[in-house]
Amino acid sequence: MIQHIKNFCLVLAVFLCIHSPAYAHKPSDSYLVIGVNQGLIQGQWDIALRDLDYAIGLDADANNAITWQEVLNKQQDINAYAFARLQLKNGADICPIVPQKTLIDHHTDGAYAVIQFSANCKDAINTLNVHYTLFADIDPSHRGLLRLDYKGATKTSIFGPENALQSFLLGNPDWLTEFKNYVVEGMWHIWKGYDHILFLISLLLPAVLVREANKWHPSPSFKSTLIDVIKVVTAFTIAHSITLTLATLHVVSLPSRWVEAAIAASVVVAALNNIYPSILKQRWMAAFAFGLIHGFGFAAVLSDLGLQNSALIIALVGFNLGVEIGQIGILSIYLPFSYAIRKTFFYKTMFFYTGSIIIIGIAGIWFIERAFNIALFSRVTQWMPFF
């Protein structure tokens, strides 16, 4: 028994070493707003202090609390680091960027440095080329969300390592490209959102089984399994679509810390129900209830970008569609595999019970970190030598 406990803790610690604490929270994003007037650019760049601290070190006294004075002390370093990773061009001509004021603002997931800047391109801009490589060397999952304003029209785009250089033809809206970018971002968001994936897997683990006489038995048919999966996924989709829309439109706003903690708690409850099935009688109802919470987590990507009107609709619909495509991708791999091995001892013991226990341990650590704002991850890894 003791050896089983040690093995479980070792697996859990290894998982946490591979998946750093950043994955347990809202993914790393920055928000770049650019306004163009003839050859003059006025911009604002919101970058998370936690990301800057990781890159260049802001917390001088290492007390896990970054103060305004510590930001001021590093202001030149922040500007140097950020603007070495952002280049603006009018066609082939570089537009020199001049940093201005640095402020602090609070987004849904914490404090951000707000860097105001300008760039003079001399000639009127027809095609703006933007080269964005912020954090590309230390966090490939980082995304830069751009809002480009020109003569009352808004363009949006998303930067990452695979599309660091993008061109924008001013005055020529390309709604299809923007829509496609947000579809891809929605897919990427669900695939790198380990808490969302673990929640879905927790709910789907029993889908290839049936509960009879207080025991789990293999499902008799793929049709019944598929119907059960459709109920769960549809309920989750409807629920998170509702709150994603409400939060993005700023109809309802909840503190990110508590949303993220509630998401972690939902994963614990869903996995715990696999071991003690009396907690949630109808899994599709649980998927709907907890899906409302997960929708607020999805919305964090869009709500801070400040989009309006048609640009907001494009981003909202595209992102939500991308999330659904991402879910379908996960299901298309998981469901046939789990159904094929549902009768084996390996599935019931290793996948179902052991998998649920590991998920409870991982999500439990996430919950403690998020609810109490402590870095429990570092403590877990320190225990590894004991095992």
- pLDDT at position 216: 85
Does 39 share its domain with 63? yes
Instruction: Report how far residue 31's alpha carbon sits from residue 33's, in angstroms, rounded to the nearest whole number.
Output: 7
Residue 350 or residue 95, greater confidence: 95
Does 13 share its domain with 150? no
Does 217 share its domain with 248? yes
Among the listed ranges 65-69, 133-137, 290-294, 297-301, which one has the minimum average pLDDT value?
A: 297-301
Does 132 share its domain with 255? no
Residue 110's pLDDT band (boundaries 50, 70, 90)?
confident
- pLDDT at position 9: 44
pLDDT digits (tens, 9 = 90+) for 185-224: 888 888 777 888 899 899 889 989 888 877 888 999 999 8
* Residue-wise burial string across 182-210, b where 16 or more C-beta atoms lie within 10 A, e elsewhere: bbbbbbbbbbebbbbbbbbbbbbbbbbbe
Total of domains in the chain: 2
pLDDT digits (tens, 9 = 90+) for 274-298: 888 876 668 888 899 999 999 888 8
Residue 172 lies in a domain: yes
Give the residue numbers spanning the domain of 166: 28-177
Residue 155 or residue 271, greater confidence: 271
Residue 377 or residue 362, greater confidence: 362
- pLDDT at position 71: 93
Task: Please compute, for residue 145, the number of CA atoms within 13 A of its CA located in the half-sphere on the CB side.
Answer: 24
Instruction: Report how far residue 70's alpha carbon sits from residue 61's, in angstroms, rounded to the nearest whole number.
Output: 9
The stretches of 85-205 forming alpha helices (DSSP H) are 175-192, 194-204
**Is the per-residue pLDDT at 387 higher than 50?**
no
Does 163 share its domain with 199? no
- pLDDT at position 7: 43
Q: Can you give the pTM of this predicted structure?
A: 0.68
